[in-house]
Amino acid sequence: MRVIFHVDMDAFYASIEQRDHPDLRGLPVIVGGDGKRGVVSTCSYEARTFGVHSALPMVQAMRLCPQAIVMPVRMRVYSEVSAQIMEILGSFSPLIEPLSLDEAFLDMSGTQQLFGEPLQIARAIKDEVLRVTQLPCSVGIAANKFLAKLASDLEKPDAITLIPFGREREFIAPLSVRKLWGVGPKAEARFRDLGLRTFGQVAACELDWLEERLGSIGAHVYHLARAEDDREVVTQRERKSVGSERTLSEDIRGYDQVERVMWQQCERVGRHLRGKGLVARSVRVKIRYSRNFQLMTRDAALPLPTDDSAGLMSGARQLMAKIDLQTPIRLVGVAAFQLDQAGCGGQADLFLQPKRDKHSKVEHTMDAIRDKFGNMIQRGSTKTGQR
């Protein structure tokens, strides 16, 4: 029998702000961008009672909870704290799969000899995280990943929830299908149309019947509702893409304006690729228009596997030429995908190689300077008013 833990920090960013600013404790705190276009990254449980939740536009959040204190995102601090937490979790099991900065799966199968019964281990993990970071977390314990994640959420915050082994189906039967990650209001409505609200009802259906009516999600939910999930805890997630995007404080339009923002995103993506020793074979640009939040994405293969920002940018430029840039735009993003390890087995190019090698070398050098002295050098074309 497998024993899977899902450890999830409670209101992670907001809790860190409350920890570092004691006068905020007990008050509604919202962490997020405070510009016109800002969204809520995280909010404290005090703010949640007003209906504020993450991903809510800031303007709306402030309407719901005018007394909330808005704190800017301090991503560097959060990453550092996250690293501390992952290290603690790693000391309990080598099989750890971080899902994001503030949550991870642990495979604790067969560790009872070492650490004791699951509930005891969960208690020890919570204590250790609290001792080192002064932050609360919740732990879900169950026989598979799906159930563990479900469990950690059930009694949040600051809770340990164990789904009894062998009685999983019984335990989750009364829960709403909404509890399943990935089932949003739309999917829920489709289930409801079939008269299905709870896992118990779904589990009682025939698989074929569900698939016929709901397609692949029907089968997915069917198995989960029967508490079947054999996905392993994957220790190192293979990166599939590296992306960067920016929501603009004011709409932009026109090639030059978009190009400048695109450059900044390519710089960030390129730097990330080089830092990880990856090269990309394709690039994707993403534009969100203000009108109806309409999203436009376009992909292109790169002529050479690329880790330099200029190479990504030339791919992005090709795509920009195919996209309407005259309509007001609120978000510009770029992603590199089809990633390979750099330096192994790439076909060199007769015409592009010398230039590409030079770019790559320059940018690796720039990275080294930035690592040492901070972000003091930048490409001229990413600065306002210059090309």
Partner 1 sequence: MEFSIQTDELSKGLYRAQGIVEKKTAMPILSNVLFTALDNGIVTITATDLEVGMIGEHPAKVSQEGSITISARHLYDIIRSVKNKEVTIKKLENNWAEISWGSKEYRMLGMAAEEFQNLPDVSAAKLFGVDAKVLKNMIDKTIYAVSTDETRYNLNGSFLEKSGEAGFRMVATDGHRLSLIDASLAKQSEDIPFPEGVIIPKKGLLELKRLVESEEDDCQIGLDANNLVFKMKGVTVVMRLLDGQFPEYQQVVPENQKISLTLERAPLIESLRRVSILSSDRTLGLKMSLQTNLLRLTASNPDLGEAREDIDVEYDGPELTVGFNARYLLDALAAIETDSVRLSLDDDLSPGVFRPLGDDSYTCVVMPMRI
Active-site option among 17, 97, 103, 168: 103
Residues in contact with partner 1, total (CB under 8 A)? Answer: 15
Q: Are 348 and 286 in contact (CB under 8 A)?
A: no
Taking the least distance from each CB to partner 1, the nearer of 53 and 322 is 322
Pick from 303, 355, 370, 381 the residue near partner 1 by CB under 8 A: 303
Taking the least distance from each CB to partner 1, the nearer of 73 and 352 is 352
Give yes or no for residue 341 binding partner 1 (CB under 8 A): no
Taking the least distance from each CB to partner 1, the nearer of 119 and 301 is 301
Continuous H helices in 27-156 = 45-48, 58-64, 75-92, 112-115, 118-133, 145-154
Q: How far is the CB of 259 from partner 1 (least distance, A)?
A: 19
| Binding window for partner 1 (CB under 8 A); candidates: 18-26, 170-178, 189-197, 345-353 | 345-353
Give one word for 379, left, alpha or beta, with left for phi > 0 and alpha for psi -120 to 50.
beta
Angle 376-382-385 from CA coordinates, rounded to 5°: 110
Q: How far is the CB of 349 from partner 1 (least distance, A)?
A: 5
Give yes or no for residue 321 binding partner 1 (CB under 8 A): no
- Tell me how far CA of residue 178 lies from CA of 183, 207, 221, in angstroms: 6, 19, 11
Site string for partner 1, 262-301 (x = CB under 8 A): --------------------------------------xx
Residues in CB range of 110: below 8 A, 6 or more apart: 3
| Binding window for partner 1 (CB under 8 A); candidates: 1-9, 157-165, 340-348, 371-379 | 340-348
Pick from 79, 232, 343, 358 the residue near partner 1 by CB under 8 A: 343
- Cα dihedral value 181, 184, 188, 190, nearest 10: -120
Pick from 353, 361, 365, 378 the residue near partner 1 by CB under 8 A: 353
| Binding window for partner 1 (CB under 8 A); candidates: 14-22, 36-44, 51-59, 351-359 | 351-359
Characterize the bridge pairing of strands 137-142 and 160-162: parallel
The identity of residue 5, as a single letter, is F
Taking the least distance from each CB to partner 1, the nearer of 55 and 350 is 350
Taking the least distance from each CB to partner 1, the nearer of 212 and 349 is 349
Give yes or no for residue 323 binding partner 1 (CB under 8 A): no
Give yes or no for residue 344 binding partner 1 (CB under 8 A): yes
Residues in CB range of 387: below 8 A, 6 or more apart: 256, 380, 381
* Catalytic residue check, 103: yes
Taking the least distance from each CB to partner 1, the nearer of 295 and 348 is 348
Rounded to 10 deg, the angle between the 309-320 and 255-276 helix axes is 140
Give yes or no for residue 240 binding partner 1 (CB under 8 A): no
d(CA 200, CA 140): 20
d(CA 137, CA 139): 7
| Binding window for partner 1 (CB under 8 A); candidates: 108-116, 166-174, 200-208, 346-354 | 346-354
E strand or H helix at 256: helix 255-276
| Binding window for partner 1 (CB under 8 A); candidates: 110-118, 136-144, 206-214, 344-352 | 344-352
Burial string for 24-57 (b: 16+ CB within 10 Å, else e) reads: beeebbbbbbeeebbbbbbbbbbbbebebebebe
Which residues of the shown chain bind partner 1 in the complex (CB under 8 A)?
Answer: 300-301, 303, 318, 343-353
Active site residues: 103
